[in-house]
Chain A
């Protein structure tokens, strides 16, 4: 197990360095120099050159990347050009919300898809419904689903708040009520795609020897389904969950925008629209490192659930 962790980390570190360098190089070289953007269109070339020198924008790329990465490792991500706030603080404010949204979405999709797709009572009907829901759920865009839910549950039925977000400090009830629609919006895609993956595995295991053995022992179909097939069928879900993390981040960006929630997605979109380099870079880096770390976690979780992997390589 330790060897597995070590080998994964050994691959991960150069990847993170390479990707953050690509991010840094592309963001800083394509968008024009930050000094020109900060001073506006009417700035004189001298003023731009002066600011470039003062802020170190005229240094070679590798040196600037080293500087940025060096201070990032000590927790200093610079200050936002737009608001002058420390970027680390902005991230610390936005990240928990996005993480919470993502965790709810994944947990509900995971539990929902494995439990619902294992039912034995009226199985063929339940199957048909979840199959139809899955195809629609995979293709429906987040922004459309989000607006549709807002329209139905907030505007027409007046059951839930339209948009916005309520921090934990305002009370757990208010917080959770505000989370319902965004979580449903985000989890629909995952519930649907997890269902497809889970069902395929479930069906392929139904005829296995261990299932037949359990049946010949006289166990009930329900018990066989939930105690014998389910634990074995969730293995590919873990792998799939790890692989789809990237999409989860994309979905969270759109969902936060629909519900105007102050998370990482909105931070990124605002930063791109205002050409706020330090924020763009920092959010990009957090996403890169986060996705890689969670991928590692998914691999390790798989190793824990399936002992065979631990001894591979």
Chain B
């Protein structure tokens, strides 16, 4: 990697800002996120940058605290996706044959199905909570991870050092742990940020549909949903948290995709 791509720099700067906002939310926010006041649907002012919502809560403070909820759900879901998807992909790629055939069938079906609808039905069954949401979104993203890992394992397992290990009599388990895993996880981690962005995207959509993080937690999707009734008079109630979702998803996508570009061996096509 000769040059540090500008996209990655921009992404990392935005990521730092968002992370700092999440960590220092209690210090930056002018008000507690769930404190109701009598100033209902107040206009944006110097005291309330984004105005106040239908319960008199400061929307700017809620958006700031919402960063914590979003990052938690996003990171947890992406980790769950790796924990479930990576072993499946490893097994399919390494053992091939009928194991691979069956696993790929299952993976492909779940990739084809609408992730959002799947998540809707699963959260309806489990009940909405931050924990359940993270698990659900992790499960929904897992097939993509599995497919990615499988593809990479196909490449790695044909390499000479794997053949050498097999020739010396190493067991499959040992080869997977010592040779295949380390060479595969590189791809998984470069996809990690993209999975976080996908999880934040989906979780906000679920909350917007009324099946995400339960109130009164300051959750962006829920805030957009509540605020959308007042769009004509107080646009920032919904557009403020909506922009926060968009910016966060954009940031993680930017970091993830530029890391993918940087780490992938494929030469970039010259213009």
Chain B associates with chain A = yes
Is the Cβ of A280 less than 8 Å from the Cβ of B271?
no
Q: Is A135 an interface residue (CB 8 A)?
A: yes
Q: Contacting chain B: which of A69-77, A172-180, A232-240, A267-275?
A: A267-275
Q: For the complex, what is the distance from the CA of A155 to the CA of B125, rounded to whole Å?
A: 38
Is the Cβ of B201 less than 8 Å from the Cβ of A139?
yes
Is the Cβ of B209 less than 8 Å from the Cβ of A253?
yes
Q: Is B117 an interface residue (CB 8 A)?
A: yes
Is the Cβ of A139 less than 8 Å from the Cβ of B197?
yes
Q: Is B238 an interface residue (CB 8 A)?
A: yes
The residue on B at minimum CB distance from A123 is: B271
The residue on A at minimum CB distance from B116 is: A250
Q: Is B182 an interface residue (CB 8 A)?
A: no
Is the Cβ of A139 less than 8 Å from the Cβ of B249?
yes
Point out residues on A near B: beta carbons under 8 Å.
11, 15, 18-19, 23, 26-27, 30-31, 124, 127, 135-136, 138-144, 147-148, 150-151, 155, 162, 200, 203-204, 243, 245-251, 253-254, 257-258, 268-269, 272-273, 280, 284, 287-288, 291-292, 295
Is the Cβ of A151 less than 8 Å from the Cβ of B239?
yes
Point out residues on B near A: beta carbons under 8 Å.
105, 109, 111-117, 120-122, 124-126, 197, 201-202, 204-205, 208-211, 221, 224-225, 228, 231-232, 235, 238-239, 242-243, 245-246, 249-250, 253-254, 257, 269, 271
Is the Cβ of B211 less than 8 Å from the Cβ of A272?
yes
Is the Cβ of B224 less than 8 Å from the Cβ of A143?
yes
Residues in A whose Cβ lies below 8 Å from that of B120: 253, 268-269, 272
Is the Cβ of B239 less than 8 Å from the Cβ of A148?
yes
9 A-B residue contacts at CB 8 Å? A135-B257, A139-B246, A144-B243, A147-B228, A155-B235, A245-B114, A246-B112, A250-B117, A273-B210
Report if A141-B121 is in contact (Cβ < 8 Å); known contacts: A135-B254, A147-B228.
Answer: no
Q: For the complex, what is the distance from the CA of A141 to the CA of B209, rounded to whole Å?
A: 13
Q: For the complex, what is the distance from the CA of A249 to the CA of B113, rounded to whole Å?
A: 9
Is the Cβ of B125 less than 8 Å from the Cβ of A143?
no
Is the Cβ of B250 less than 8 Å from the Cβ of A135?
yes
Residues in A whose Cβ lies below 8 Å from that of B115: 246-247, 250
Is the Cβ of B114 less than 8 Å from the Cβ of A250?
yes
> What's the least CB distance linking A277 to chain B, in Å?
11
Q: For the complex, what is the distance from the CA of A11 to the CA of B122, rounded to whole Å?
A: 26
Q: For the complex, what is the distance from the CA of A162 to the CA of B231, rounded to whole Å?
A: 10
Is the Cβ of B238 less than 8 Å from the Cβ of A288?
no
Q: For the complex, what is the distance from the CA of A124 to the CA of B271, rounded to whole Å?
A: 9
Residues in B whose Cβ lies below 8 Å from that of A268: 117, 120
> What's the least CB distance linking B7 to chain A, in Å?
8
Q: For the complex, what is the distance from the CA of A245 to the CA of B108, rounded to whole Å?
A: 13
Q: For the complex, what is the distance from the CA of A11 to the CA of B101, rounded to whole Å?
A: 12
Residues in A whose Cβ lies below 8 Å from that of B232: 155, 162
Residues in A whose Cβ lies below 8 Å from that of B114: 245-250, 253, 287, 291
Q: For the complex, what is the distance from the CA of A302 to the CA of B228, rounded to whole Å?
A: 42
Is the Cβ of B250 less than 8 Å from the Cβ of A136?
yes
Is the Cβ of A135 less than 8 Å from the Cβ of B253?
yes
Is the Cβ of B109 less than 8 Å from the Cβ of A19?
yes
